[in-house]
Chain A
């Protein structure tokens, strides 16, 4: 006899099939390409194809309670390789996680803290909202806080949580502020009023939290007048580009690599100082694999005199995820417990194998992930992790200075 929970699995798949998000999961032919492509599939009790199989077979309860549910790091490899075009990353995983949360199953403890931080403080680090603009203290360029001084600007920069609070990221944030100013762009930020965009929360299946953040951000953004909404965070870019419109909120959003790439001609005469480095670039998953923007970051690096660009064996659409997306940033202990290692450790070894002395990144999570990985893998001092912004700023003579 079929129970309510048995039926729920089929209903969930049917609902996803009608959502317009890729093809119906019920069309899955169990080819296993998703499981083989997933960087953590080897360690999952239920990789994507088995999630579908079990949900259809009336074993949803088992799926919802499995540690596998919290191992997807949102790299999009399974979705893009699925021959049936099933939207696994943006569709199936969040829906199952949501179902699990609604069933009262407790997510990993480290994740609960992140959720609570976001709900209470609007940032994932559990920091004071009043300190969100501390990165700009004593900065040598003017930072316009549009929440206090509203005015039309070319660029509204959503700075993001890590770039606002995390000391290592603040170096990049300040450099980007100088670059924007040097380019003659009028720009502003939302200061203490800014909230996390919430992409990872949606991927976590915490739809209510995501909706709350969308509502709060809309209230702020709709009051501002700007041509471009700019973010350093590929995950935020993805959320604003795809998920916000689903909630009726459309904004002209760009990731900074695209924004700067559009200004290559303007940058050329400014990028003068040689930066002697052999650089390998790590494609982030959201702007790279998902949005197929592979050349702009490389072309930006190519502008810098002295930079020699070398490729990792796994690059572009075949790039290995750093393990921080889809909420993986706050699931390291869970993933190591069930998967045995951090993907960032594996990835940095791949970077070192190229002979590069610098690993260039374009995502705020990757600085801390890869710098930690360098320590774990004894690569500290041999391979520097730097954001593209830092390399550009050094060449433009706009690097860290005059900051107390």
Chain B
């Protein structure tokens, strides 16, 4: 099975996010980046499928957000081809625009299966996977937690979890796009020596991709930190002091008299 995996870099939340001077977007220059968690699972799922049944894994990513280290790590883990799509802007495209570009890059690959994380935490106006499926005119199933070879050739079995502890087993005809929530096992650790080896030996394919990008109908008016509507009060001091503080608050709220 030939599998294409879409990887996206997202802002790393260990850094406080900053809003750009325009007040309508993040300050991307101040952000640091990390691989989108569910995309990491999509890659793991692809590698597991390849190990179980053969085939190839091709990774695709936009040239954005310190992506090279992520791509070298993917190569070290076992991805066969790495495609880095050049960007002509230093801000991330909308999910629709990104999906259109990924779709154009995936079409020549004749991929049986496209795996992508079910969502990314910086997506603004929708999620990428269904747009990607639409652009590829392929079926889509999302919130998938495990994929295996299907009951017959040209299919895969996907497992989907619904709220309320209900699982569904799906048979998906290929080619298809699956939005992965979690792989069958956590993303593997790859020793840094292998990543360093991949840095020396891996060549990225960087095709120019022309895609017709739909105009977004959603505009951001303002981006801002949430305004706190309530607060917690920390009581300090000895036991008696804290107890007196609690009694005072309860009395003020009218809970006790």
Residues of chain A touching chain B, judged by Cβ–Cβ distance below 8 Å, are 98, 101-102, 104, 106-107, 109, 112, 115-116, 119-121, 126-128, 130, 206-209, 211-212
Q: Do A115 and B193 touch (CB < 8 A)?
A: no
Q: Do A208 and B14 touch (CB < 8 A)?
A: no
Check B162 for interface membership: any CB of A closer than 8 A.
Answer: no
- Measured between beta carbons, the chain A residues less than 8 angstroms from B196 are 208, 211-212
8 Å CB interface, B26-79 against A: 32, 34
Check B194 for interface membership: any CB of A closer than 8 A.
Answer: yes
Q: Do B192 and A208 touch (CB < 8 A)?
A: yes
Q: Which residue of B lies closest to A207 (CB)?
A: B193
DSSP majority for the A interface?
A: helix
Q: Do A102 and B14 touch (CB < 8 A)?
A: no
The distance in angstroms between the C-alpha atoms of A211 and B195, with both chains bound, is 12
Q: Which residue of B lies closest to A119 (CB)?
A: B192
8 Å CB interface, B181-203 against A: 186, 188-189, 191-196
The distance in angstroms between the C-alpha atoms of A102 and B194, with both chains bound, is 8
Q: Do A127 and B14 touch (CB < 8 A)?
A: yes
Q: Which residue of B lies closest to A209 (CB)?
A: B192
Q: Which residue of B lies closest to A107 (CB)?
A: B189
- Measured between beta carbons, the chain B residues less than 8 angstroms from A208 are 191-196
Check B15 for interface membership: any CB of A closer than 8 A.
Answer: yes
Q: Which residue of B lies closest to A113 (CB)?
A: B189
- Measured between beta carbons, the chain A residues less than 8 angstroms from B191 are 98, 101-102, 206, 208-209
The distance in angstroms between the C-alpha atoms of A101 and B14, with both chains bound, is 27
- Measured between beta carbons, the chain B residues less than 8 angstroms from A116 are 189
Q: Assuming the A-B contacts A106-B188, A130-B15, are A120 and B194 also in contact, with contact meaning beta carbons closer than 8 angstroms in the complex?
A: no
Q: Which residue of A lies closest to B186 (CB)?
A: A109
> Can you give 30 contacting A-B residue pairs, CB < 8 Å?
A101-B189, A101-B191, A102-B191, A102-B193, A102-B194, A106-B188, A109-B186, A112-B189, A115-B189, A115-B192, A116-B189, A119-B195, A120-B34, A121-B14, A127-B14, A128-B14, A128-B15, A130-B15, A206-B192, A208-B191, A208-B192, A208-B193, A208-B194, A208-B195, A208-B196, A209-B192, A211-B192, A211-B193, A211-B196, A212-B192
Q: Assuming the A-B contacts A109-B186, A120-B34, are A126 and B192 also in contact, with contact meaning beta carbons closer than 8 angstroms in the complex?
A: no
Query: Whole-angstrom distance from the CB of B55 to the nearest CB of chain A?
Result: 19
Query: Whole-angstrom distance from the CB of B175 to the nearest CB of chain A?
Result: 30
Q: Do B189 and A106 touch (CB < 8 A)?
A: yes
- Measured between beta carbons, the chain B residues less than 8 angstroms from A120 are 34
Query: Whole-angstrom distance from the CB of B91 to the nearest CB of chain A?
Result: 21
Q: Tell which of A112, A115, A126 touches B14, judged by Cβ atoms closer than 8 Å.
A: A126
Q: Which residue of A lies closest to B16 (CB)?
A: A128
- Measured between beta carbons, the chain A residues less than 8 angstroms from B194 are 102, 208
